[in-house]
Amino acid sequence: MAKEFEIRTDLALEEKESFPGDGGEIHGVSLKEWQDKGGNFKITEVVVLDEEGARAMGKPVGTYMTLEAKNLKWREKEYHTALAKELARQIERLMRRQCIGEDGNILVVGLGNEAVTPDSLGPRVVSQLRISRHLKKKYRQEMFGSGRSVSALVPGVMAQTGMETAEIIRGVVQETKPDMVLVIDALAARSVRRLGNTIQLSDTGISPGSGVGNHRSAITEEVLGIPVLAVGVPTVVGAAAIAHDTVGALIQVLNREQITQNIGQYIENMDPEEQYAFIREILDPEFGSMYVTEPDIDETIRQLGMLISDGIHRAVYPEDEREG
What are the C-alpha distances in Å from 150 to residues 24, 176, 215? 41, 12, 23
What are the C-alpha distances in Å from 155 to residues 20, 135, 221? 39, 22, 18
- Phi, psi (deg, nearest 5) at residue 31: -135, 130
Interaction of residue 181 with a second copy, rule CB under 8 A = no
In angstroms, give the least distance from the CB of 56 to a second copy: 28
Residues 193-222 that bind a second copy (CB under 8 A): 193, 212-214
Q: How many CB atoms lie within 10 A of CB 155?
A: 26
In angstroms, give the least distance from the CB of 157 to a second copy: 9
Q: Which of 26, 31, 116, 223 binds a second copy (CB under 8 A)?
A: 116
Give residues with Cβ within 8 angstroms of 82, minimum separation 6.
36, 38, 40, 41
Interaction of residue 176 with a second copy, rule CB under 8 A = yes
In angstroms, give the least distance from the CB of 201 to a second copy: 23
- Phi, psi (deg, nearest 5) at residue 24: -65, -170
d(Cα 244, Cα 223) in Å, to the nearest integer?
34
In angstroms, give the least distance from the CB of 94 to a second copy: 22
Interaction of residue 258 with a second copy, rule CB under 8 A = no
Interaction of residue 132 with a second copy, rule CB under 8 A = yes
Binding residues for a second copy, rule CB under 8 A, total 80
Interaction of residue 234 with a second copy, rule CB under 8 A = no
Q: Which of 160, 208, 269, 271 binds a second copy (CB under 8 A)?
A: 160
Residues 43-72 that bind a second copy (CB under 8 A): none
d(Cα 301, Cα 124) in Å, to the nearest integer?
8
Of the two residues 25 and 321, which places its CB atom closer to a second copy in the complex?
A: 321
d(Cα 293, Cα 287) in Å, to the nearest integer?
15
Interaction of residue 172 with a second copy, rule CB under 8 A = yes
Interaction of residue 77 with a second copy, rule CB under 8 A = yes
Residues 281-320 that bind a second copy (CB under 8 A): 281-284, 286-287, 289-299, 306
Interaction of residue 223 with a second copy, rule CB under 8 A = no
Give residues with Cβ within 8 angstroms of 320, minimum separation 6.
147, 313
